[in-house]
Amino acid sequence: MSGGRAQVMWDEAVVGYDFGPGHPMDPVRLALTMRLVEAYGLDRVARTVSAPPAGESTLRLVHRPDYIAAVRAASADPGSADGSYGLGTADDPAFAGMHDAAALIAGQSVGAAEAVWSGAALHAVNFAGGLHHAMPGGASGFCVYNDAALAVARLLELGAVRVAYVDVDVHHGDGVQAAFWDDPRVLTISLHEHPRTLFPQTGWPEETGGERAEGTAVNVALPAGTGDAGWLRAFHAVVPDLLAAFRPQVLVTQHGADTHFEDPLAHLAVSVDAQRLVAEACHALAHEHAEGRWLALGGGGYAVTDVVPRSWTHLVGIAAGRPVDPASAVPEEWRHEVFRRTRQLGPLRMTDGRTPEWRDFAASGYDPADRLDQAVLATRRAVFPSHGLLP
């Protein structure tokens, strides 16, 4: 490794990814996260880097040429978007400059992947990224270009032969799974609310990869209402064993903050404290199985002042090697910034006041009456044998 320092990918222009007033994905969440990162001085510990927008050839690593052309056309004339290619819908309304803003976010994730692979950085974070629903031929779920899939595809192009992608957003990472469904070089693991109760209604444990890549798509469908203990139990019952068996050269993780109990669009009950523990676990797993190469992305999260900035600032602090004390008071100047921008009161501390604990699945055994354990066992039965593991 020639580097070793962490990088935070940031360009103020990413806030131009804006679907308009009233849309849940308010770009203020990105600006407030970066201001909180700065308020804690993490930008002086991790290098802040801006990468260029993803160009046409890069976007084509995942997206079809006709879809890219449709995004460009809708970006130039938003009124022409009629729902074709998923553009001009309630979830993904077209807006002027949409292509440029989406390509810029994608460029940050691709640039982060390049930095981690080359050794220019050991860890890289793009919390503006994680737009995991975009498909090769269409927009979906607030996502225009799939920066997560593009980052993985760029790693493969650079020579990686084993890349693991772990997605803990409350929604299934369907676009990334679809991009690598038949590619045995990529292990995709998604922990998400059960598709019976949440968009995009995919991510069943039986979805395990194509014929040439059986067992490389992993889905943990969590019951609605799952809180810290169950979420952490499921993560540790599935992810570490699979990463140990797969031996990735790079770990890419997606940290959507919409698992939180305050999130308005989903039904899990996870705290910022548990989200921080999973970020710490991903960091440790990258060092254990991928020589420390770790690319961390943002994702969903629609409690835009209280939850998202705190969760992703913890993520940056962990990647930078200077974790933020959960008990620390949120800097007063940042709370003033929250009020100035949103007329809302910001949170007072970097914790929800919880100290999450969970029971280890292997040590405590399977409870057949517990819906969380049923979900975990369904996933382990579906994919563990493909990796030489016992369910």
Single-letter amino acid code for the residue at 251: L
Single-letter amino acid code for the residue at 57: S
Beta strands across the sheet bearing 294-297: 47-49, 6-9, 123-126, 294-297, 250-254, 163-167, 186-193, 217-222
Residue 373: exposure state from Cβ atoms within 10 A (0-12, 13-18, ≥19): buried
Q: In the beta sheet, which residues pair with residue 227?
A: 269
**CA angle (75, 124, 6) in 5-degree steps:** 140
Helix (H) or strand (E) holding 165: strand 163-167
**Residue among 63, 99, 123, 133 flagged as catalytic:** 133
Residue 91: exposure state from Cβ atoms within 10 A (0-12, 13-18, ≥19): middle
Single-letter amino acid code for the residue at 67: Y
Phi-psi region of 291 (alpha: psi -120 to 50; beta: other; left: phi over 0): left
What span, in angstroms and rounded, lies between the C-alpha atoms of 41 and 346? 19
What span, in angstroms and rounded, lies between the C-alpha atoms of 175 and 177? 5
280, two tokens: 């710490």
Q: Is 289 a catalytic residue?
A: no
Q: Which residues are catalytic?
A: 133
